[in-house]
């Protein structure tokens, strides 16, 4: 199966390589190509077939589902792996929203809770809680958006360190919580729990807050199966999940993913399972059948579908 590890398309504008997307800059818009790179622990840990298409199509679905809450950057989706987007001034804050006490990364609420932290997004948690406990209400728990390593900061710290002005941060918080509520509502109707997620925002030329990047994808969000959650947590076992958490756990058990120079190769069966999960959750959430044209190599297909966006 063809895997998109990187792109190098000509005449689309200056290219910047993101963790997952290759971004081509044009005067008034961006060409965002979702590759199959898989990022965790601030690095690429694997390549997952069809992942890029699932992410891009999932975001396209969710951008439509939430357009009444906040404007988004989408202009066109000319290919399963591509979004044409309006250029925005990006805000250097990742708007993280959490509904459950869980996670494995250094910025996750469960990791920080284990280290003794108890105040999260204005919510003070008691001692003795178990992993995967549902929080009394979703919390806004933002991080910085930095090239090296994101940091969890309080709202006051974000303002004091000049990442964002207080009124804009208040708007960000309100919008992120509304988006999360919509996500949880839609997910529950399809038998899923939206556990946590992160949003990225920009500002347009008129200063209007705009949702950018991706939304409620298996990369930016954690999903659990609704019907088995209660029983599994009561038994002390992990919820049934669709996201990349199981691959993160494997890497943490087999290496130091933050510090080891060379990581072990992800097991082929885990890569195949993650592809299956990405496709399953897309189909369950959207009610659509996942399909891409496999009759031509993906890079050839993408290049053809981007013909009208080439710079002359």
pLDDT digits (tens, 9 = 90+) for 219-278: 899 999 999 999 999 999 999 987 677 888 899 999 999 999 999 999 999 999 999 989
pTM as predicted:
0.90
pLDDT at residue number 245: 74
Cross-strand bridge partners of residue 40: 43
3-class secondary structure, 242:
coil
Specify burial of residue 190 (Cβ count, 10 A radius: 0-12, 13-18, 19+). Answer: middle
- Virtual CA dihedral for 113, 115, 116, 117, nearest 10 degrees? -50
Q: Is the distance from CB of 22 to CB of 33 less than 8 angstroms?
A: yes
pLDDT at residue number 148: 67
Supply the DSSP string of 141-178, one letter for each residue. Answer: --EE--SS---B--HHHHHHTTSS-HHHHHHHHHHHHH
Specify burial of residue 241 (Cβ count, 10 A radius: 0-12, 13-18, 19+). Answer: buried
Using the predicted structure, report yes or no on whether residue 71 has a pLDDT greater than 90: yes
Alpha helices in the chain (DSSP H): 51-65, 109-114, 155-160, 166-189, 226-235, 245-254, 268-286, 298-305
Rounded Cα–Cα distance for residues 12 and 29 (Å): 11
| Long-range contacts, 38-44 (Cβ 8 Å, 24+) | 38/244, 38/247, 38/266, 38/274, 39/219, 40/105, 40/244, 40/247, 40/248, 40/251, 40/257, 41/105, 41/248, 41/251, 41/257, 41/258, 42/148, 42/149, 42/258, 43/257, 43/263, 44/19
Domains along the chain with CATH numbers:
89-235 (3.30.470.20)
pLDDT at residue number 133: 95
- Res. 105 pLDDT band, cuts 50 70 90: confident
């Amino acid at each position: 199966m063809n895997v998109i590890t990187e792109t190098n398309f000509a005449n689309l504008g200056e290219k910047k390589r993101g963790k997952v997307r290759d971004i081509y800059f044009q005067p008034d818009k961006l060409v965002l190509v979702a590759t199959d790179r898989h990022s965790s622990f601030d690095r690429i840990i694997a390549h997952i077939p069809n992942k890029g298409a699932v992410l891009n199509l999932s975001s396209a679905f969710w951008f439509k589902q939430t357009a009444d809450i906040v404007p988004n950057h989408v202009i066109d989706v000319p290919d399963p792996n591509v979004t044409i987007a309006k250029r925005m001034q990006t805000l250097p804050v990742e708007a993280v929203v959490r509904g459950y006490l869980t996670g494995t990364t250094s910025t996750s609420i469960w990791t920080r809770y284990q280290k003794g932290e108890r105040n999260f997004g204005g919510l003070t948690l008691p001692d003795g809680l178990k992993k995967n406990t549902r929080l009394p209400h979703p919390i806004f728990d933002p991080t910085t958006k930095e090239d090296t390593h994101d940091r969890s900061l309080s709202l006051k710290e974000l303002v004091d360190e000049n990442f964002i002005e207080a009124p804009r941060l208040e708007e960000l918080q309100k919008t992120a919580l509304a988006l999360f509520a919509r996500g949880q509502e839609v997910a529950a109707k399809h038998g899923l729990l939206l556990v946590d997620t992160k949003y990225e925002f920009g500002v347009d030329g008129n200063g209007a807050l705009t949702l950018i990047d991706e939304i409620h994808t298996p990369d930016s969000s954690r999903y659990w199966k609704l019907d088995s959650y209660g029983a599994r947590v009561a038994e002390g076992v992990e919820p049934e999940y669709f996201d990349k958490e199981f691959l993160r756990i494997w890497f943490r058990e087999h290496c130091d993913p933050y510090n080891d120079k060379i990581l072990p190769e992800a097991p082929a069966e885990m890569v195949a399972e993650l592809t299956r999960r990405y496709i399953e959750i897309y189909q369950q959430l959207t009610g659509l059948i996942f399909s891409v044209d496999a009759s031509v190599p993906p890079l050839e297909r993408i290049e053809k579908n981007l013909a009208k966006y080439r710079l002359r």
